[in-house]
Structure 1
Amino acid sequence: MNRPIAMVTGASAGFGEAIARRFAQEGWNVIITGRRAERLHALAEELSQTHQTDIYALPFDVRDAKAVEEAIVSLPEEWKTIQILVNNAGLAVGRNTIDSGDLEDWERMIDTNVKGLLYVTRFAVEHMRNAENAHIVNIGSIAGKEVYNGGNVYCATKFAVDALTKAMRVEFLPLGIRVTQISPGAAETEFSMVRFKGDEEKAAKVYEGYKALTAEDIADTLWFAVTRPPHVCLNDIVIMPAAQANSFTFFKN
């Protein structure tokens, strides 16, 4: 276990899976977390065999503060020196306006996108204090820069990620921990399927007429950010498909 260690939340699909794959490909040992234990263990087995590196599957729900604490605190000693933490776990649910909003959707987004990020960071940082070139990367969104119709609570949670990233950059500066936010625009992952609660037709329409970002695009961007020299920190990266100008303006064929 003399390789550097990265921890990636929400690694069972989408950005998280692509990011975990990239770290494994580069020879890192990776802690992968998520709610879907079966997927996590399958990914861990695949990556360890393909890339001859160590992958530690750590299933938990970031919304459960006690489960987060227990999982991270109880990591085996050889896994405790986390050099890079990627706070990727997050989701959007529903596109209702506030006056017709689903309270359960609101709670799910707030608990995952804001509280979950805080819980993981709170306990992971304890393992990062002695790591060389420690770095936290928070996956934000263009929705954390601009509000769009029907985005309300999701946008609010991503605005919170933006604020928390800035707070971490200030508060972790004495610890020597760099902090980066990556804010993607439209990316074709499970995101829209989750947002529209499994409605394939609605999800597909989101990506019609243009080339959306891929999960691999985000993984490549993140890898670039975390491999800058120790004196360099890319604070905030906004990345969108060339066909997208902002949260609500697209050029479609």
Structure 2
Amino acid sequence: MTHQTVLVTGAGGGIGSAVAEAFAGDGWRTVLCGRSEAELESTAEAVSAAGGTPVVHPVDVRDEDGVFDALLETVPETLDVLLPAAAVMPHAPGERPLQAEDYEDVRAVLDTNVYGLFAVIREALQFMDPDGRVLVPSGAVARDPKPGMGAYAPSKAAAEALARGFAVDVDQTVGIVDPGIVATDLTGGAGRDPADVAELFRWAALECPPEELDGEIVGLREWKRATR
């Protein structure tokens, strides 16, 4: 039984819940954060059934004080792995060109996907030893925008820039994990099953050499090549 702790934001569904369940198989203490307590409880049931120790703590990543309080209340000693997976896109992929974005929606996207990401990483680092790891989920849209993605694509580009910035400034390993297109609410259900890419994140957290992850992007190709 491990005494390690992973904290996942956006743990109520999609990649967040799938990765939480993947860590559960090793008996990790799994801190589940998100806005919907009901969705977090559903993930907690799956984590518990898989052998993990779930801890549910609703939090809005845009509230830095709430993020710090969540960490203070749920991390008993040190945080080993952080997966800041909380993200929003207020419209379906491909449906809104950037020039047609509503100001309110742009603010909501940047507040969660960029400011919220910054707040979660900054506060979590205080609870991590130097060998801790931060895995920032992203996708090719951050580097190769597609039509109609609105503010979401720029927000993911900013998320990758934040990951690189932290990587050069802190002792912990901060990397970007690109699982390709995954079937979540953000993609309208199109793409790979989140469970099929959860092991990619687990590999990035536990096995990927730190020099290959820190400030870099690892994805399906690197994972398959390392584990085949």
* Residues 1:165 and 2:163 are matched in the alignment: yes
Give the aligned partner of residue 175 of structure 2: 180
Distance in 1 between residues matched to 2:21 and 2:206, nearest whole Å: 16
Give the aligned partner of residue 220 of structure 1: 199
Give SS of 2:68's match: helix
Report the Cα offset of residue 154 of structure 1. Answer: 0.9
Contact 1:142/1:184 (8 A) holds in 2:
no
Distance in 2 between residues matched to 1:51 and 1:18, nearest whole Å: 11
Contact 2:21/2:50 (8 A) holds in 1:
no
Provide Cα deviations, 1:141-171, integer angstroms capped at 9, x if missing partner: 2111111212241111011011111111101
Provide Cα deviations, 1:62-97, integer angstroms capped at 9, x if missing partner: 12223223222x32562x410000111112222322
Give the aligned partner of residue 73 of structure 2: 75
Contact 2:55/2:74 (8 A) holds in 1:
no
Contact 2:4/2:79 (8 A) holds in 1:
yes
Q: How does 1:93-112 map to 2 (within 5 A)?
A: 93-94=90-91, 95-112=95-112
* Residues 1:87 and 2:84 are matched in the alignment: yes
Give the aligned partner of residue 146 of structure 1: 144
- Shift in alpha-carbon separation, 1:97–1:57, aligned structure 2, 3 A: same
Distance in 1 between residues matched to 2:32 and 2:75, nearest whole Å: 16
Give the aligned partner of residue 22 of structure 1: 22
Contact 1:144/1:156 (8 A) holds in 2:
yes
Distance in 1 between residues matched to 2:135 and 2:18, nearest whole Å: 14
Report the Cα offset of residue 2 of structure 1. Answer: 5.8
Give the aligned partner of residue 40 of structure 1: 40
Percent of pairs identical after alignment?
27
Q: TM-score with structure 1 length normalisation?
A: 0.78
Give SS of 2:47's match: helix
Report the Cα offset of residue 102 of structure 1. Answer: 1.5
Unaligned runs of 5+ in 1: 193-202, 241-253
- Shift in alpha-carbon separation, 1:229–1:213, aligned structure 2, 3 A: closer
Give SS of 2:55's match: strand
Aligned length: 216
Please identify the structure whose Cα radius of gyration is greater.
1
- Shift in alpha-carbon separation, 1:40–1:77, aligned structure 2, 3 A: closer
Q: TM-score with structure 2 length normalisation?
A: 0.85
Give the aligned partner of residue 118 of structure 1: 118
Contact 1:179/1:233 (8 A) holds in 2:
no
- Shift in alpha-carbon separation, 1:90–1:124, aligned structure 2, 3 A: same
- Shift in alpha-carbon separation, 1:159–1:230, aligned structure 2, 3 A: closer
Which aligned runs of 4 or more in structure 1 are off by greater than 6 angstroms?
none
Contact 2:98/2:149 (8 A) holds in 1:
no
- Shift in alpha-carbon separation, 1:229–1:108, aligned structure 2, 3 A: closer
Report the Cα offset of residue 217 of structure 1. Answer: 2.7
Q: In structure 2, give the amino acid aligned to 1:137.
A: L
Contact 1:225/1:233 (8 A) holds in 2:
no
Instruction: Please identify, of 11-20 and 85-94, the stretch whose mean Cα deviation from structure 2 is larger.
Output: 85-94
Unaligned runs of 5+ in 2: 222-228
